[in-house]
Amino acid sequence: MRVVALLICSLMLGPVSLADDETQSTVSDFRDRADELYKARRKGLSLFADDKFDEAYPLLLEAARGGFKQPQARLGYMHMNGLGGAKKDSRYALGWLGVAADGRTEPSIRKMFNDVWKRIPEQHQSGYQKVVDQFVDKYGTDATGMKCQRVNRQGSKIRVLNCVLTDPDGALLTDQWDEANRSQLGAYSFDGNLGGNGQGGGGPR
């Protein structure tokens, strides 16, 4: 019941203004920018897993704006629950979850979005759909040039989501840290499922 009330009250606040988001600067060296985004993703996801939400929030936000699905989903979860620097607002929660669930993504992300969507009263769904469309238009794979596919972990049959940045010409800008450390890790350093380790963190697994 509390979730439904939050959904209705948040929508009454009006449309989300993505203009309030800090616009990412255009940089000449796309390789350096890609390295920054990959690093923000790795560190943000690690801090989230340790329930360090205040520290995780700005890093996840940077990576999510770059188009990474797992950071987007975690931001949605944080906004739904008011964790860390994320204000409790279902418009941002549905926006981030919606763009994370759009296109090729993890089944756990799509399930989380669908579970929340089912709780929205039918008369309010069109309003939330506009919010989701806003986020997809600005942070979706087409807008950011992100390429996502599900692949096997190295030496395993486990399927995971691999999202790779591209330059303006469409050339892949892979995670150089991941490639350099893969032989030691024995697997890709992909994001895994939503969830933290402590009592306060996590989402559906």
pLDDT in tens, 86-132: 999 999 999 999 999 999 999 999 999 999 999 999 999 999 999 99
Q: Which residue, among 63, 134, 132, 126, has the nearest Cα to 101 in the 3D structure?
A: 132
pLDDT reported for residue 176 = 78
Task: Delimit the domains of the chain by residue range.
Answer: 2-7+28-140
Q: Which residue, among 43, 40, 109, has the nearest Cα to 73 in the 3D structure?
A: 109
142-151 pLDDT, tens per residue? Answer: 999 999 998 8
Q: Which helix (H) or strand (E) holds 111?
A: helix 107-117
Lookup: tokens for 85:
């620097």
Residues 6+ apart with CB under 8 A from 151: 159, 160, 162, 188
| 61 burial via Cβ count (<10 Å: 0-12, 13-18, 19+) | buried
What's the pTM?
A: 0.79
Q: How far apart are CA 135 and CA 153, in angstroms?
A: 29
